[in-house]
Every structure is written in structure tokens, then in C-alpha cells.
Structure 1
Amino acid sequence: MAMNGMNMGKIMKQAQEMQKKMAAQQNEIENTDFTGVSPEELVTVTFGGNRRMKDMQIKAEAIDPDDPDMLSDLVLSAVNDALAKIDNTTQSKMGQFTQGMNIPGF
């Protein structure tokens, strides 16, 4: 059954190839480490692409017993930086698969 000159088998084959490429990209992202840093790099965190934290380094000067909120803010800043990097990488690598999804005949 032809649809605008493209048969269903060809469309299915292309869809399967795209699915394999998407899975490979997703796997690559999940196996990449993303490092987030706070201002002045007082706190550095490392996440895997699966959004699980692998490491956190805190410099001694970030630890002020009289100002625990500062350390909380630094940790939040570093974590959010790393998560934003994961989002941006995911969007740039996976976005190629969702652009131009207007398949002829649909």
C-alpha cells in the first residue's frame, strides 16, 4: 500500500532505524558525567546522565558554621548547574529526532 510514493515497509524500517539511533544517543547521555559548579567553584558536583549524583566536593572555605545557609545555597547552585547541563545535552542530542516529524501522508 503506497502512501505518497513511500510504502509502509520503508516507513517502518526508517522508524526502527530512528528508534535505534535514539536509544544509542540516550545510552550515550546516561553514560556521560556532568559537572556542576557553584559560584567561585566552592562546591562541585558530578552527576551521571541518569540524574544520579556520583560525587560532591566542598572546599573548606564554603563551610562557615555561622552561615549554614550559604553552604546550602552553594550546593543548590552546583546541583542545578549540573542538571541544566544534562537537560541541555539531552535536548540538543534528542531534539534532532523530534524536529520535522511531519511524515508525508500523515
Structure 2
Amino acid sequence: MDFMKMMKQAKQMQSKMAELQDKVAELSVEGVAGAGLVTVSLNGKGEMTGLKIDPSLVKADETEILEDLILAAHNDAKAKGETLVQEHTQDLMSGMGLPAGMKLPF
């Protein structure tokens, strides 16, 4: 493989990586707990962008249940986000002819 071809492929990969990072930043996932009583929204970076709590959960003597449901909804959203990022990464890798399972640096 000649050097110029390798440089061109490296440049294409860099461009695809930037494109993937932009796509990841735009992702939005929702995690749900308590059969929909708590919903957490995260962006592709894992930052919480929204929280919905059913008013029936807002009781002074049940704060521990509410806390557990918020954590469960957040973890659900995080897992969904990680799966989406992995799917986008695999799509990128397959289009570039790179080995399956190769980890990217983010």
C-alpha cells in the first residue's frame, strides 16, 4: 500500500470520526422506571437533559422510592445511549473496512 493512499484513508477516517462525534452529540435517549412514573432524558454525551416525575410519587414519606426510580430511569437511559453509540460506531467501522470490535478513542 503506498503512502499517499494510507494518508488519504487516514484523512477519511478522521473525517468520519468527527462526523460520528457530531452524531453522538445529537443523540437523545429516554430512560423509564416505575412503569412510566419517572422518565429521564439524556443527550449522547450522557448529560441529563430532562426529568419527568408523575405527581403521584411526590410524597414526603416516599422520597426513597422516588430516588430509586430516578436512578433506575437514568441508568436505563444511559444503557440505551451507550447501545446507540455502539451501533453508530459499528456502522462507521463497517463502512471503512476496519476490523470488527476495534475500539475508537471516545
RMSD: 1.8
Whether 2:31 is the aligned partner of 1:31: answer no
State the TM-score, normalizing by the size of structure 1.
Answer: 0.80
Match of 1:46 among 41, 47, 62: 41
Letter in 2 for 1:54: T
Q: In the alignment, what sits opposite 1:3?
A: none
SS in 1 for 2:60: coil
- What is the alpha-carbon distance in structure 2 between the residues aligned to residue 24 and residue 77 of structure 1? 31
Gaps of 5+ in 1: 1-5, 102-106
Deviations 1:53-98 (A, max 9, x none): 1110100122232221110110001100111111111111113439
Q: In the alignment, what sits opposite 2:73?
A: 78
Whether 2:93 is the aligned partner of 1:97: answer yes
State the TM-score, normalizing by the size of structure 2.
Answer: 0.80
Identity in percent: 34
- What is the alpha-carbon distance in structure 1 between the residues aligned to residue 21 and residue 27 of structure 2? 10
Gaps of 5+ in 2: 101-106
Letter in 1 for 2:99: G
Moved more, 30-39 or 72-81: 30-39
- What is the alpha-carbon distance in structure 2 between the residues aligned to residue 7 and residue 75 of structure 1? 54
The answer to whether the Cα contact below 8 Å between 1:26 and 1:94 also exists between their aligned partners in 2 is: no
Letter in 2 for 1:79: H
What is the count of residue pairs matched by the alignment?
Answer: 96
The answer to whether the Cα contact below 8 Å between 1:46 and 1:56 also exists between their aligned partners in 2 is: yes
Higher alpha-carbon Rg:
1
